[in-house]
Each structure stands twice: as C-alpha cells, then as structure tokens.
Chains A and B, each alone.
Chain A
Amino acid sequence: MSIDPAHPSPFALSAWVLEALSAEEAARVRGHLAQCERCRGELEAMQAAHARFRRDVLPRTLPGIREHLSWRRFWPGALLPTLALTAAALMMITVHHSPSPHEPRAKGGVAMQVFLHEPGGARPARDAERATAGDELRFVVEPDGLPYLLVASVDGTGAASVYFPFDGAQSAPLASAPRQELPGSVVLDEAPGPERIFALFSRHPLDGAAVRRLLLAVGAGGAEAIRATRSLPVAGADAQVSLLLEKVLP
C-alpha cells in the first residue's frame, strides 16, 4: 500500500486503525497525523464512529447476525433490503445425477435445484454457471425417499463448508415431502474460482468430518480437480448430485 505523506486515504487510515500496515507505513501515517490537524480530525471522526458501533450497534445487531448465519431459520427480507424474490423469475431447472457410483440404488434419481438471488430477483443456477461473490443461494431438493441429507462444498481456496445442516457434524433428517426447500440461505463468499456443491442423500446420517476430509482432498487438487470431480466417494451415501459454480468478484 502506498501511503502518501500528504493525506492518507480512508483506506489507509482504516488500515492504520486495524494495525494492518507495515511498520514503515504505520510510521509514515503516524508522522503525518502528528503534523496534520485535518487528518487528525478525520481519524477522530472515524474512531468516534467505531466507538458508537461497539457501544450501541454491536450489542443490538449481533443476535440477528448470528441468526442469519445459521441454517435454523429463514432470514426475513428486512435485513437484506436489496434482495427481492420475484415469483415470475422463479424457474425450476433440475440437475439430475445418476445414483452414487459408490452406493448404487434401484430407485430413480434424486435432484437438487439451486436458486441464485441477486439484486432484482432470483434465477436458477446451471452447472458451471458464473456467480458473483455476495450472491445468495437457496436450495430445493427431491430426496426420492431418502431421509437424510448433507449439503457441502469445496471452493477454489481449498476450503470445505457444510451448508446443510449449517456447519453440521452429520447429515440432517429431511421432511417426508417429495420436493422441499431447505431452510435458510447461503451467501457466496469472496473466494474466486470454482465452487462445487454436493448434495449427499442417505438412509443413515453421514459423518460431516469424513465428508470434509474428502472435500479437502478434492480442493488440494486445485481448480481443475474441483471442476472434474462430480461425485465424492462417501461411504454410506446412497445418491448424490453436484453443481459447479464459477465465482467472480463483484
């Protein structure tokens, strides 16, 4: 980061407050602040806003943040004013996948439908589609009689996430409906590149840690491995589908 000796930008000042500058950069900012009344005023205003946040905003909003980041409840639209679900835009495209090659089933296929919510509406995601960091995802599944589900992903940084049940240790039971929307939603993070989402259906709960290990192994192979790996060798998974998203930054 270049720190202009004349006037550090808001970005540089924020970095200085967060102690995110190198020792040399921090010393330059400190030296400038000692001489510039205007920038000291800027810093004081910034710190006053920080104090207000800690005193008033954080205690009031933390419960809502915690709830939004969990799968237990669907988050009401009031907290996400820019995301609007438009009924006309709801198209159902199904990604069907053959039963898991590792645990063949006699019945037909399971299905997973992924909806991408953007400012202005929702649209269905197709395999290998581009999605933007910050997009909100919702899932509709057809379990075809299988009572348990684990939804998990691996992204371009090699990180594994369990989306349903959120950060869960094992698969969660599903309702008995043939077609159902999973509660809650997922917001795509900033890690660019591929993210593959797996929906693992089973007769008994799957171990979340075991699934994470498999996902990490896929992620260790890099972006091409994530794109190429369409199913996971999960012991106990009776059927699975996967969807690939190619994330870009906003």
Chain B
Amino acid sequence: MTDDRLRHLYATYGPTIYERCRRLLRDDSLAEDAAQETFVRVARHLDRVPDAQRALAWIFRIATNHCLNVLRDRQRLELHATPERPGPEPEARLEDRDLLARLIARVPPKIRTTAWLYHVDGLDQEEVAKVLGVTRRTVINHLARFERSARKLAEMGRK
C-alpha cells in the first residue's frame, strides 16, 4: 500500500472509526487508541474492497468488538450499556435497562456484540446481520440466547 493510498483510506474511514469508538468508550484518549487499533486491523482489507457499505460493516464489527473488550477489561462495561436512542423496533428492546447492562457484561463475546448492536445501538436485525457478516437467523438465535440469560438473571434477582 502506498503512502498516498494509506493516507486516503485513513482520511476516508478514520473519522467514522473514531466516532464509533468515541461513542462506545466516551473517552477521547481511549477512542484515539481504539481507532488506531481498528484501522490497522482493517486497513489492508479496506484497500481491496471498493464497496463502502461493506467496509462500514467491517469497521463497525471490529471497532465494536475491540471497544467492548476495552470496556470489559476496564470493568466499565456496565456503566455504558444504557441505550441512548430508541432506534428501530423499540418494542422488541429489553425494557429493564439495569438488567441489560448487567447482562451485556456477562454473556460471551459474540452474544455481547449482537446484544449491544441491537439493544444499545438500536440497529435492526438486518443491520446487525450485515455488520457481523452472519445470517439474520444467527442474529435471532443470538438474541434469543441473550433473552434467555436475561430471564435467568431476572429470576435470580427475585430469589
């Protein structure tokens, strides 16, 4: 990859990556580090793929996974799992926001990312599938597993 090409890709996609990381981490310094990490991971792929929508899906996936790991490592995951916006399909979102925050911190990484994209970011199932590179059926299955965990956790809380 030439320097010019690298600069072009960073200038084109860097803002989106940075904004995504900043939205998740709510810390400028952490977001800068996370944005660089994400860009390094996707740079060669961005160089080969002309489709901006596909590139955006990959950016969202890598950035979300990385930032959720950062939050988990810093034990800040529960503080940030409060949805900011209703997004599409609001009637399907978990209503108990405290439960949502505790759950997202506890489920496996793949389920966590799906749940975050859907319940916190407000992406619809089709968008989640596009970002994760999976079928909508897989998204539905992940969400079902997440909701089963929610019920179990809620039952434990009542005992």
Option from B12, B18, B36, B61 in Cβ contact (under 8 Å) with A249: B61
Question: B residues 7-62 with Cβ under 8 Å of A?
Answer: 7, 10-16, 18-20, 22-23, 32-33, 35-37, 39-45, 48, 51-53, 55-56, 58, 60-62
Interface segment, A49-57, A98-106, A172-180?
A49-57
**B121, A65: Cβ atoms closer than 8 Å:** no
- Chain B hits for A225, CB < 8 A: none
A31 to B124, CA, bound (A): 19
**Chain B proximity of A188: nearest CB distance (Å):** 8
- Chain B hits for A61, CB < 8 A: 32, 35-36
Residues of B within 8 A of A (CB): 1, 3, 6-7, 10-16, 18-20, 22-23, 32-33, 35-37, 39-45, 48, 51-53, 55-56, 58, 60-62, 65-66, 69-70, 73, 85-89, 109, 117, 121-124, 126-127, 130-133
- Chain B hits for A223, CB < 8 A: none
Residue of B nearest to A3 (CB): B88
- If A10-B122, A57-B35, A81-B33 touch, whether A65 touches B10 (CB-CB below 8 Å) is yes
Residue of A nearest to B134 (CB): A249
- Chain B hits for A2, CB < 8 A: 88, 124, 126-127
Residue of A nearest to B36 (CB): A61
**A49, B18: Cβ atoms closer than 8 Å:** yes
**A79, B37: Cβ atoms closer than 8 Å:** yes
- Chain B hits for A34, CB < 8 A: none
Can you name 6 extra interface pairs (CB under 8 A) apart from A9-B88, A58-B11? A11-B56, A53-B14, A61-B36, A69-B40, A81-B37, A134-B65
